[in-house]
Structure 1
Amino acid sequence: MNYPGRLDRRIRALLNRPATVVDGYLDVMGGARVPQTTGQRVMGSTVLPMIYERLWRPVLFWGFTARNTAQEDRRKLRLLGIQPGDTVLDVACGPGNTTRSLVEQVGPDGIAIGVDSSASMLAQAVRETAPDSPVGYVRGDAVDLPFDDGTFDAISCYGALYLMDDPLGSLRDMIRVLKPGGRIAILTTCARGPAHVRQVEVAASRLAPLRLFDVDEITDALRDAGLVEVTRNVSAASQTVGGRRPETS
């Protein structure tokens, strides 16, 4: 399967390095590999991508967020503020469920791009995506996104930051490729309870498959990077965080 010519050209115009078509997505990594946590190895298995959207994600998502996917999608779209014609990036997109949820907002003149380092997840994302949809996928490293500074109007990263080997490095690179005035939305883990308990849990999680972020860790990182209008909503073991990159003078 190859991309339709127009979509292929639009995505390649955004990339800052060469890419080849593999199983319907554009691959900028070739034989390169990124460091894999245990959680990433599970998510990149050959079986999980096939059941993720219909079984794994709905069950896990409810226990993690105490909200269903429709509720969280509405919150995500409010945070991102996507307009027709926007160029949107979904980081660590997995099988593309979040990426595809942005299609109606970008419209036919916009584009939603999912990036992930897992070939099996991206192959499933391509199979799940309508061929005429303004959605494309790129195999790339979330800590070294293959785009120039200020490329995207909005960026999402949902249910993935806690799986990454270098989550704060990835967050910095997302902000790098966000346009002035652009918005970011992140769904990740959140430690709860007294400070001394959270500190122990956060430290211990660095040895576990899923990393646990302290309640202020992500919002502080966004503010330190200069983002404004930073918000956080905590529910169950999750937090949904949003922010906006200020307009340049």
Structure 2
Amino acid sequence: MTAPGQPDRRIRALLNRPASDVDGYFDVMGDATVPQTTGQRVMGSATLPKIYERLWRPVLFRGFTARTTAQEDRHKLRLLDIRPGDTVLDVACGPGNTTRTLLDAVGAQGLAVGVDSSPTMLARAVDDTVPGTPVGYVRADAVDLPFGDATFDAVSCYGALYLMDDPLGALREMIRLLKPGGRIAVLTTCVRGPAPVRRLAVAASRVAPLRLFDVDEVTAVLREAGLQDVTRSVSAASQTVGGRRP
């Protein structure tokens, strides 16, 4: 693996379109932008990446999931079932903290790729990555991921789907990238309670900074795409969803 400032050439080999080498990550977007929700504008600020891993994420996740980040990471790794040498993708990786939790599982011969649309988050990810580890980063839109079909052994998206302008479109993109036998794990919001209350909350969230998902909304996308072993674990205001491509 090359040092920050020189992205791993293995990542360039995975890309299906031209990319610029920008301060340690590959950029396929250039001057393009993605529609920004209020939550995405906050996440892309210059200040948040500096405090995200030590304060924002631990505090948010404890209240949101009723679990610690360590507990969520262990659950994620069980769902992804990563093997040494696997190539894995972490969508909406932020400052790379979620991507780096995959490193021990992929091993020295594997590769972890983090994707985000925020230059400030990716700059932080590069700064916080230890040289020599099998990880690299790409700036791209989650609904237009710059990889061919069936590229990855596993795909994760943790604590980000609810911030996206087109979350279900992004989820379908992630599924497209799974190899046969590939696994996906997603942590996002979950509305609980009687059906009329859930429907009202989900509808209202469409114009809110944070999107709410009904209990079957995310799993339905996985099943419609033909994934097997679809599971959902609900905790507090969150749900962790997993599945496997046949």
State the TM-score bracket (shorter-chain normalisation).
Answer: over 0.9
Q: Deviations over 1:53-107 (max 9, x none)?
A: 0001000110000000010001000000000000000000001111000000000
Deviations for 1:105-124, whole angstroms, at most 9, x for unmatched residues?
00000000000000000000
Note the residue ranges of structure 1 that are not aligned, 5 or more in a row.
Answer: none
Q: 1:11: which partner in 2?
A: 11
Aligned match of 1:57:
57
Once the two structures are superposed, the pairs formed by residues 92-171 of structure 1 within 5 Å of their partners are 92-171=92-171
SS in 1 for 2:90: strand
Residue 30 (structure 1) aligns with: 30
CA RMSD after TM alignment? 0.7
- Secondary structure at 1:214 match in 2: coil
Once residues 72 and 8 of structure 2 are traced to their aligned partners in structure 1, the CA distance between those partners, rounded to angstroms, is: 30
Give the partner amino acid of 1:67: R
Query: Tell me, what secondary structure is at the counterpart of 2:67?
Result: coil
* 2:84 aligned with 1:84: yes
For 1:155 and 1:92, how far apart are their aligned partners in 2? Answer: 11
**Partner residue of 2:184?**
184
What letter is aligned with 2:52?
Answer: Y
Q: Name the CA distance, whole Å, in 2 between partners of 1:9 and 1:25.
A: 11
Q: Give the total of aligned pairs.
A: 243
Moved more, 185-194 or 17-26: 17-26
Paired letter, 2:135: V
The share of aligned pairs that are identical, in percent, is: 78
Q: What stretches of structure 2 of length at least 5 have no aligned partner?
A: none
In the superposition, the TM-score normalised over structure 2's length comes to 0.98
2:228 aligned residue: 228
1:131 to partner: Cα distance: 1.3
How many Å separate the matches in 2 of 1:131 and 1:141? 26
Q: Distance in 1 between matches of 2:144 and 2:126?
A: 22
Q: What SS does the aligned partner of 1:126 have?
A: helix
Amino acid at match of 1:236: A
Separation in structure 1 between the aligned mates of residue 131 and residue 147 of structure 2, nearest angstrom? 23
Counterpart code for 2:49: P
1:2 and 2:5 are equivalent in the alignment? yes
CA deviation after TM superposition for structure 1 residue 39, in Å: 0.3
SS at match of 1:202: helix
Provide the residue aligned with 2:239 in structure 1: 239
Distance 1:35 1:175 in 2: 21
- Give the TM-score normalised by the residue count of structure 1: 0.97
Q: Which runs of 4+ in 1 moved over 4 A?
A: none
Deviation at 1:9, TM superposition (A): 1.5
Cα shift at 1:21: 1.2
- How many angstroms does 1:23 deviate by? 1.6
Answer yes or no: is 1:204 the counterpart of 2:204. yes
Measure, in 2, the Cα distance between the counterparts of 1:9 and 1:113.
Answer: 12
Q: Quick one: distance in 2 between partners of 1:139 and 1:38? A: 19
In the alignment, what sits opposite 1:68?
A: 68
CA shift digits 1:129-162 (9 cap, x unpaired): 1011101000001000000000000000000000
Counterpart CA distance in 1 for 2:23 and 2:14 is 20
